[in-house]
Amino acid sequence: MENLNDDVQLRIINYLEFLSQFWLWVASKDVAPRTYDNVSYAWQGKTSHKLQYRLFKEFEKYDTLVEVDFIRAISPTVKHLELYRFSISNLTRWRGQCFPCMESLYYAVDFITHWEHKEALKLIVELFPKLKSLKSPSYINGRIIEKLTDLQILDLSESFLYFIEFDSINGILNLPKLQSFSFYTEPHETESIMNEIFERRGQDIRKFLASALDIRFLVNKGQCLKNLRLLTLCSAYYERDEFESLVSNMPALEELNLVDCAYWQLESDLWRTVANCRSLKILGLSIEVIDEDFFDSSRLQMEYVLSNHLQPLILNFYQTDDDVDVPSILHALAFKYFNHSNLTYCFKQHRDIIICRYLTKIEFC
């Protein structure tokens, strides 16, 4: 291998799967320095790396300098890391390395105690101080990550969020550049967390997605959401008056998506919502609401509302099951009834609308 030219070596190296590259790199260090350098060069040509449990077990077979040299090889160019089932000792050995391009991190661990989670998080903040995106199913302490002053995206949607440490949510809200925050909780915890978020940054919220949230909570907090532009509710139940009160108090709302919500019984409900939200540009519904009984044979209400609406309206009927086609009868019904110069409709699959139960996602300006 050492006698091959660099181009041929790199083609062979890039053909190998990651662990085979690692074994070649370790074996060639003292006997084939050009091969060793070319493996390092191939790694540095990639900005994303996934370091899994098998690699961390491999590290244990060698002197700790092998792990340090590996991290030194990838650290100059890596922008995104995925770390699975590492130990605190691994992170400790990485101290002193510089990750000048590092922007995005996903990590998952099997730690048991909060102390272990906190120590790992402290080391992550120390190693990657310029992170812009952090995603993890692990325990997160807001008072630790508030030191990540460049953080824009915090995604905690893969596990329940527990704010064990006092005032941890305030630490998260102290992040000066935070643009997107996702978390997964039981409903009673969601409201307590949202209370803090609405009080601190309600006026900054531009997009809000929630599942299984009591609509009365949003109605009571409507004054905090004056600048909300996109609202998505999934599996929510509410009375007609409550919902109309909610949307009428959101003067900037441009897009509203309702998925599996127990409200849309008749077409008149739809047009009352549009009439109460003059700024609305896009209204999304799950296709389950549509059948012949949904429509009003008189088109007067639709004609009146759309003729007085401030801008054209787009109706999106979401198909949330990838494996099921939209029945042709639904296309026929929409073609028959949704006929107005100020209205466009479509059937589409919208992966952003397919959300898991108890998920909340907030985007700030």
Task: Give which of 277, 343, 274 is closest to 315, Cα–Cα.
Answer: 343
Give the pairing of strands 205-211 and 359-364: antiparallel
- Residues contacting residue 252 through CB under 8 Å, at least 6 positions apart: 226, 227, 228, 229, 279
Residue 340 lies in domain: 203-365
Read off the pLDDT of residues 303-335 as tens digits, 9 standing for 90 and up: 999 999 999 999 988 776 654 556 677 788 888
* pLDDT at residue number 322: 56
Q: Can you state the percent helix, strand and coil of the chain, rounding each to 5?
A: 40, 20, 40
Which residue numbers in the chain have pLDDT < 50? 164, 166, 323
CA distance 241 to 46: 55
**In-domain check, residue 309:** yes
Residue 112 lies in a domain: no
Kindly write down the DSSP assignment for every residue of 266-280, as one continuous string.
SHHHHHHHHHH-TT-
Q: What is the structure's pLDDT at 164?
A: 47
The pLDDT score that the predictor gives to residue 223 is 79
Residue 39 lies in a domain: no
- Asked whether the beta carbons of 47 and 76 are under 8 A apart, the reply is no
| Residue 51 exposure: Cα atoms within 13 Å on the Cβ side | 24
Is position 156 within any domain? Answer: no
How many domains is the chain built from? 1
Residue 48 maps to a domain: no
On whether the pTM is more than 0.75, the answer is yes
Rounded Cα gap, residues 287 and 63, in angstroms: 59
In a domain, 129, yes or no: no
On whether residue 330 sits in a domain, the answer given is yes
Evaluate whether 151 touches 133 at the Cβ level (below 8 Å).
yes
The domain that holds 338 is classified in CATH as 3.80.10
Contact in structure between 240 and 263 (CB atoms under 8 Å) = yes
Residue-level pLDDT at 169 = 87
In a domain, 90, yes or no: no
